[in-house]
Amino acid sequence: MTHTQHPQSAQRRAAIILAAGQGTRMKSPLPKVLHPVGGRAMLDHAIDAAEALGCERIVVVVGAHSPEVRDHVVGRLGEDAIAVQDPPLGTGHAVRAAEAVLGDFVGQVVITYGDVPLLTAADIEPVFAAQDGVTVIGFEAADPGAYGRLVMDGDQLAAITEAKEASPEVLAITTCNSGVMAAPVGLLFDLLREVRNDNAKGEYYLTDVVELARKHGAPTRAVIAAEDAVMGVNSQAELAVAEALFQTARRATFLAAGVTMPAPDTVHFAFDTEVGGGTLIEPYVVFGPGAKIASGARIRAFSHVEGATVAAGAEVGPYARLRPGTELGEGAKIGNFVEAKNVTMGKGAKANHLTYLGDGDVGARVNIGAGTIFCNYDGFFKHRTTVGEGAFIGSNSALVAPVTIGAGAMVGSGSVITRDVAAGDLALGRGEQTIKPGWATRFMDAMRAKKAAKAK
């Protein structure tokens, strides 16, 4: 066996991400690798790690049975990042499916998995230390069970032995195989061409590469990662465990950065949540993707924030919802049972109660009364509402977009506003009150009499 390595290839990196499994144990119409952890598909976590490692080529091996996974990869990485394994004949066969896609790439290639969402670039980096052999990531298992064991020969990895084929002595080993492997691309595919499928499943196993490498005199080694980092997800129960581990790590990160959380176990973060030190997050707050919270803000209990930016000194909730595109200025407030979507709130602007703000621009120091609605949708298109600085919007008002309320203007409570209001004006858009003396008393007396007649 021979393989060539370009003199300048040592620092070049590629990644092959295996994502062709059917994931039947998930019992879900959503493909396994597209299930989210921290608000991001598990497959995207794997791609993120590969990009953070500086991999210039990333190939995702997908199955013919899952067009959704293919479309997801194409949407992020492009068509030339796709390799198809069809039919599925084992992990070694899956890796070989990526050979043609890698083309003339020369350098180190790492094999990772689309269902291992907690594995980071820092966990993978040590596999690139050896430039001339095969390196495997192992972990010390609390319960080795059915994991393949890493059999060492001094500082060299002698073999990866599956539990069902292991002797009692090998089963006593607690260092297990994560499945993540790196090698020079030429060596890897030369070895894979020698892998046979003469086993009970008739499959080509990637793990056979280790013994073949030793047979040809290539170095083999193992590096150790935390068991949680290499956790694979194959069921909804394991997905929940992965989510819990992710959340625990994120909470610890924010607490260490100076974020105050009286009940951190009740706060749920997304993969990209940004929170500045000095922020207070009360219990039962959920951050969806795209939330950015500046230092000194206050997110009160039972609020949901996604795709929104909250400036210093701003306050959200309790029981508030910020949807994508919302930007709260310094000292602004979105109060209880207020929903905001694609709205900017200027410095010190307030909407304290029971309000929907959709598609608008609210100036500094505006006060929006309870029950106000930005009527942004006409059944076909979305329109914006603009409220100038210092304006006052009375309770239970409906602003029918597109409409502009000028600076310092006032809208009387209960108004329906369909036309622009100039700066400093008062707008009243409600019917004149009518009073009919004694009508209520006569009506109630008639109803009581009718009820009494029916009871006889």
65 assigned to active site: no
**How would you class 238 by CB atoms within 10 Å of its CB: exposed for 0-12, middle for 13-18, buried for 19 or more?**
middle
CA dihedral 280, 281, 282, 286 (to 10 degrees): 170
- One-letter amino acid of 188: L
Q: Distance between CA atoms of 418 and 403, rounded to whole angstroms?
A: 7
241 alpha carbon, distance to own chain's centre: 15
- One-letter amino acid of 195: V
Q: Name the active-site residue from 3, 6, 65, 353.
A: 353
CB 180, CB 172: distance < 8 Å: no
Residue 134, beta-bridge partner list: 220
Which candidate, 220, 141, 134, places its Cα nearest to that of 177?
A: 141
Task: Write out the DSSP string of 189-219.
Answer: HHHHTT----STT----TTHHHHHHHHTT--
Q: Distance between CA atoms of 64 and 19, rounded to whole angstroms?
A: 11
List residues with catalytic annotation.
353
